[in-house]
Structure 1
Amino acid sequence: MNEQILSLYDLNSAIKNAVKGCLPDMYWIRTETSDVRENQNGHCYLEFIQKDDSNRNIIARGRASVWANTYRILKPYFESETSQPFVSGIKVLVLVSVEFHELYGFSLNVHNIDPSYTLGDQARNRALILKQLEEEGVLTLNKELQLPYVVNRIAVISSPTAAGYEDFCNQLENNKSGFVFYTKLFPAIMQGERTEESILLALDKINQYIDLFDAVVIIRGGGASSELSSFDSYLLATSSAQFPLPIITGIGHERDDTVLDIVAHTRCKTPTAVAEFLIAKNESVENELLFLQEQISYKTTQLLQNEAIRINNLTTHFSYLLKEQTKEQLSELAKITIRLKTASSHLLKEHEHALAVKAQYLELVSPENILKKGYTLTLKGNAIVKSAVDLTKGEQITTLFSDGKVISTIG
């Protein structure tokens, strides 16, 4: 055997030198991230892949790394510019050098990244989803739903521990108009890879109790804006667009609308803004009812006044006619006049009495008047407690008096 015999190390060293000699520069490459992992030392290890035109089959694969000193800079820069986490499955334009190590083999070392390329890909993806929804005729379906006249039964999709959810509830409970809102939380994961699946499951649960709610609120607070890519999902968008209840979003992002925001009935910037929208909606209804009440009162008073004038005119007219009649006729007409006056007076008194009775009844049945009589009203959350069997040990209740409230815990 005359061929030169090399050790594996020698062969790998020769490959390393060949790679270094032939590919000494850095290259910008278009690729897709896969299997992104960060270790305890702050280094990021991942794979770059390329798929065929059908986007199904992988035709190229390369192991890559971003060393900690570079990763600490590139990751926040990329996420700040794109509002997209640096995770698997995104299209990137990266500056790499080709490395070959005797022990670890071939890899690409990442030195820089161009966020504008990813932004362009995100915009294209968003535009494609919106175009598909429009072609399917579902893009504006949720917007076309009519919000109920009074909106106070709310299904909430949120993380139960999110600060935004707490802000939303506090805003509703402490509204200056004293409106009562009934909310039911359907917990969901609002950031990360399971966001889409989690929200879809929550929507399915709400759909089972569709008659119990006026609207659905999807809120998210306290998370990074870089976690918003899940809200640009086609499946989430088409499900929300076709949902039978109006959907109001407040996912805490001020710069751009996600696809979910675009298909929702109403888009608010934050969870607090969603609560303010619901309160304002009910205040508008209250103002309209007060206006109608004033109009009814005015019209009733005007009608009674007009009738009184008409009767007085008739009386004057009959008085004039009386002068032309005989004494016998005058006597009979006088009787008729008296009866007319009596009847008209009685009619006016009946109308006034009916209005007074209705006003007295409204005052008697008002919650404030009932509380002043010594009665109390017990609430569990926002719901009125109608029976002791609805309470369990350890639950907190609120007892309303005419001059205040007391919070208790069931023993």
Structure 2
Amino acid sequence: MITKRYSLFELNRLVRESIECEMPDEYWVEAELSECRESRGHCYMELIQKDEQTATPIAKASAKCWANKWLTIRPYFERTTGQPLHAGMKVLLQVYPQFHEAYGFSWIVNDIDPTYTIGDMARKRQEIIKKLKDEGVFDLQKELQLPLFCQHIAVISSQTAAGYGDFCNQLADNPYGFKFETQLFPAIMQGEGVEQSIIDALERIYNSDFDCVVIIRGGGATSDMSGFDTLALAENVANFPLPIITGIGHDRDESILDMVSHTRVKTPTAAAALLIDHLKVVLDTLIDSQNRITQYVQQKLSIVNYQLSTVQEAIPRLFSVVKTRQETKIDLFAQRMLTSVDRRLVSEQHRLELIDEKLKALDPTLLLKRGYSITIHNGRAVKDATTLQPGDEIETRLAKGTVKSIIKSV
């Protein structure tokens, strides 16, 4: 049998009174923010604790920081940590419990210790840096070189950022008249969308024909740098095939993105100055090389002209010596030729006389005078009677006259 009944309000009031009685103190609690938003000057947070091994949530709670406290806590926290409260951040909160009959339970935040968050942020940064170094990509950008004529620039920035305009104006108004071509790839440069927005811009640039990439952020709050301290963005930048110049922070703010980039400068105008100075160094080097080449050529021409002048003066003398030597050689050669020709003529004359004697001895007319005759058939001397046929006409040549005959038999 039911002895006592409570209305919901009565039961909730009992819970409130129990909490106020049993937990009157303030407590420092470590937690991770899963959500953080402002409304009407108040800050509303969702707290979470995850299992260290599985990352599974094992505790959740709501927390509130009323405007009268938040107006003091927020600027101090952001000034100290360099970042605003955001989802994923580890915090150390000073809280007390509050249960309201109509709105339920929540922790009321009286203070936030920024040094705890700084320590956690530093730990995360070191973990990311260690991973990048273990992967061997931390210094990859440093190994790239800006092209000599680095004038086609891909710019990642917010289209409305004052820093983007300053960057373009600085390039356009350079004192040397250098011509630069820039193309903007718009991206979110503050808030939670920074990481993916810049990665998307890099993907659009990847297959394009640029000399380098410039990531600039002029005009953003220095307290909103967390988007540049992520592993995914750092890996994309570190592995990018073009040199990346960053101008997103100030003197005391160096993000992981700055660390892995090719060159980090303070501001967008400093990035423009870097590109201008780089081109000026190239121009000065070319002018210096041109002067050195001109000087070298002039020295060589002077030496060659001197050598030619010396040779020119020596040519008449050398020619006279050579001419005398050649004339002497020609005279000796002519004398030798005449002697050789005379000897050859005598030798050939003697040989001709011997041939003439032999020819005279073989002269057929001499044989005819001795009583011999020659029989001719068809213009050839007959040496074999079997070559003749009855009826052939032959001619017999004698010392005096010829006789023609007809063959009757052979």
Give me the whole-angstrom Cα distance separating, in 1, the residues matched to 2:23 and 2:321.
Answer: 129
Aligned to 1:204: 203
Read off the aligned partner of 1:92 and give its amino acid letter: V
Q: Residues 194, 325 of structure 1: CA spacing in aligned structure 2 closer, same or farther, 3 A cutoff?
A: closer
Read off the aligned partner of 1:279 and give its amino acid letter: I
Tell me if the contact between 1:44 and 1:65 (Cα under 8 Å) persists in the aligned partners. Answer: yes
Q: Which 5+ residue runs of structure 2 have no aligned equivalent? A: 328-410
Tell me if the contact between 1:231 and 1:258 (Cα under 8 Å) persists in the aligned partners. Answer: yes
Q: Report the 3-state secondary structure (helix = DSSP H, G, I; strand = E; otherwise coil) of the residue aligned with 2:143.
A: coil
Aligned to 1:111: 110
Aligned to 1:312: 309
C-alpha deviation, 1:195, in angstroms:
1.0
Q: Residues 249, 55 of structure 1: CA spacing in aligned structure 2 closer, same or farther, 3 A cutoff?
A: farther
Aligned to 2:131: 132
Query: How far does the alpha carbon of each residue in 1:65-107 deviate from its partner, in whole angstroms, 9 at most, with x for none?
Result: 1000111111111111111121222100111111112222211
Q: Residues 44, 317 of structure 1: CA spacing in aligned structure 2 closer, same or farther, 3 A cutoff?
A: same
Read off the aligned partner of 1:297 and give its amino acid letter: T
Q: Residues 55, 32 of structure 1: CA spacing in aligned structure 2 closer, same or farther, 3 A cutoff?
A: farther
Aligned to 2:287: 290
Task: For 1:369-408, list aligned pairs within 5 A.
Answer: none
Query: How far does the alpha carbon of each residue in 1:317-343 deviate from its partner, in whole angstroms, 9 at most, with x for none?
Result: 567779x979x96xx9xxxxxxxxxxx
Q: Which 5+ residue runs of structure 1 have no aligned equivalent? A: 333-411
Give me the whole-angstrom Cα distance separating, in 2, the residues matched to 1:74 and 1:255.
Answer: 22
* Structure having the higher Rg: 2
Task: For 1:143-292, list aligned pairs within 5 A.
Answer: 143-209=142-208, 212-292=209-289
Give me the whole-angstrom Cα distance separating, in 2, the residues matched to 1:77 and 1:165.
Answer: 30
Give me the whole-angstrom Cα distance separating, in 2, the residues matched to 1:268 and 1:315.
Answer: 63
Aligned to 1:397: none
Aligned to 1:45: 44
Query: How far does the alpha carbon of each residue in 1:275-334 deviate from its partner, in whole angstroms, 9 at most, with x for none?
Result: 000000000000000001111111121112112222333345567779x979x96xx9xx
Q: Report the 3-state secondary structure (helix = DSSP H, G, I; strand = E; otherwise coil) of the residue aligned with 1:281.
A: helix
Task: For 1:279-358, list aligned pairs within 5 A.
Answer: 279-317=276-314
Give me the whole-angstrom Cα distance separating, in 2, the residues matched to 1:186 and 1:23.
Answer: 55
Read off the aligned partner of 1:23 and give its amino acid letter: M
Give me the whole-angstrom Cα distance separating, in 1, the residues matched to 2:126 and 2:195.
Answer: 19
What's the TM-score, normalizing by structure 1? 0.75
Read off the aligned partner of 1:27 and give its amino acid letter: Y
Query: How far does the alpha carbon of each residue in 1:319-370 deviate from its partner, in whole angstroms, 9 at most, with x for none?
Result: 7779x979x96xx9xxxxxxxxxxxxxxxxxxxxxxxxxxxxxxxxxxxxxx
Give me the whole-angstrom Cα distance separating, in 1, the residues matched to 2:144 and 2:127.
Answer: 24
Q: Residues 2, 244 of structure 1: CA spacing in aligned structure 2 closer, same or farther, 3 A cutoff?
A: closer
Give me the whole-angstrom Cα distance separating, in 1, the residues matched to 2:312 and 2:56.
Answer: 99
Aligned to 1:31: 31
Give me the whole-angstrom Cα distance separating, in 1, the residues matched to 2:263 and 2:44.
Answer: 41
Read off the aligned partner of 1:34 and give its amino acid letter: S
Q: Residues 325, 221 of structure 1: CA spacing in aligned structure 2 closer, same or farther, 3 A cutoff?
A: closer
Give me the whole-angstrom Cα distance separating, in 2, the residues matched to 1:97 and 1:245.
Answer: 53
C-alpha deviation, 1:3, in angstroms:
2.8
Q: Does structure 1 residue 8 correspond to structure 2 residue 5?
A: no
Tell me if the contact between 1:252 and 1:271 (Cα under 8 Å) persists in the aligned partners. Answer: no
Aligned to 1:71: 70
CA RMSD of aligned residues (A): 2.1
Q: Report the 3-state secondary structure (helix = DSSP H, G, I; strand = E; otherwise coil) of the residue aligned with 1:20.
A: helix
Q: Residues 215, 2 of structure 1: CA spacing in aligned structure 2 closer, same or farther, 3 A cutoff?
A: closer
Give me the whole-angstrom Cα distance separating, in 1, the residues matched to 2:295 and 2:56.
Answer: 76
Q: Report the 3-state secondary structure (helix = DSSP H, G, I; strand = E; otherwise coil) of the residue aligned with 1:48.
A: strand
User: Identical aligned pairs, as a percentage?
Assistant: 50
Q: Report the 3-state secondary structure (helix = DSSP H, G, I; strand = E; otherwise coil) of the residue aligned with 2:159.
A: coil
Read off the aligned partner of 1:301 and give its amino acid letter: Q
Give me the whole-angstrom Cα distance separating, in 2, the residues matched to 1:79 and 1:134.
Answer: 29
Aligned to 1:83: 82
Give me the whole-angstrom Cα distance separating, in 1, the residues matched to 2:321 and 2:112.
Answer: 111
Q: Report the 3-state secondary structure (helix = DSSP H, G, I; strand = E; otherwise coil) of the residue aligned with 1:37.
A: strand
Give me the whole-angstrom Cα distance separating, in 2, the residues matched to 1:298 and 1:65.
Answer: 78
Tell me if the contact between 1:164 and 1:220 (Cα under 8 Å) persists in the aligned partners. Answer: yes
Aligned to 1:352: none
Give me the whole-angstrom Cα distance separating, in 2, the residues matched to 1:129 and 1:271.
Answer: 26
Give me the whole-angstrom Cα distance separating, in 2, the residues matched to 1:194 and 1:11.
Answer: 44
Give me the whole-angstrom Cα distance separating, in 1, the residues matched to 2:54 and 2:224.
Answer: 24
Query: How far does the alpha carbon of each residue in 1:355-404 deviate from its partner, in whole angstroms, 9 at most, with x for none?
Result: xxxxxxxxxxxxxxxxxxxxxxxxxxxxxxxxxxxxxxxxxxxxxxxxxx
Read off the aligned partner of 2:224 and give its amino acid letter: E
Read off the aligned partner of 1:8 and give its amino acid letter: L
Give me the whole-angstrom Cα distance separating, in 2, the residues matched to 1:68 and 1:286.
Answer: 59
Aligned to 2:55: 56
Q: Residues 325, 214 of structure 1: CA spacing in aligned structure 2 closer, same or farther, 3 A cutoff?
A: closer
Give me the whole-angstrom Cα distance separating, in 2, the residues matched to 1:111 and 1:253.
Answer: 31
Read off the aligned partner of 2:15 and give its amino acid letter: I
Give me the whole-angstrom Cα distance separating, in 1, the residues matched to 2:207 and 2:295.
Answer: 46
Q: Does structure 1 residue 120 correspond to structure 2 residue 126?
A: no
Give me the whole-angstrom Cα distance separating, in 2, the residues matched to 1:325 and 1:67.
Answer: 115
What's the TM-score, normalizing by structure 2? 0.76
Read off the aligned partner of 2:139 and give its amino acid letter: T
Read off the aligned partner of 2:278 and give its amino acid letter: K
Q: Report the 3-state secondary structure (helix = DSSP H, G, I; strand = E; otherwise coil) of the residue aligned with 1:59.
A: strand
User: What is the aligned length?
Assistant: 326
Read off the aligned partner of 1:123 and give its amino acid letter: A
Give me the whole-angstrom Cα distance separating, in 2, the residues matched to 1:14 and 1:71.
Answer: 30
Read off the aligned partner of 1:250 and give its amino acid letter: G
Query: How far does the alpha carbon of each residue in 1:41-73 deviate from its partner, in whole angstroms, 9 at most, with x for none?
Result: x11112111111136211111111100011111
Read off the aligned partner of 1:49 and give its amino acid letter: I
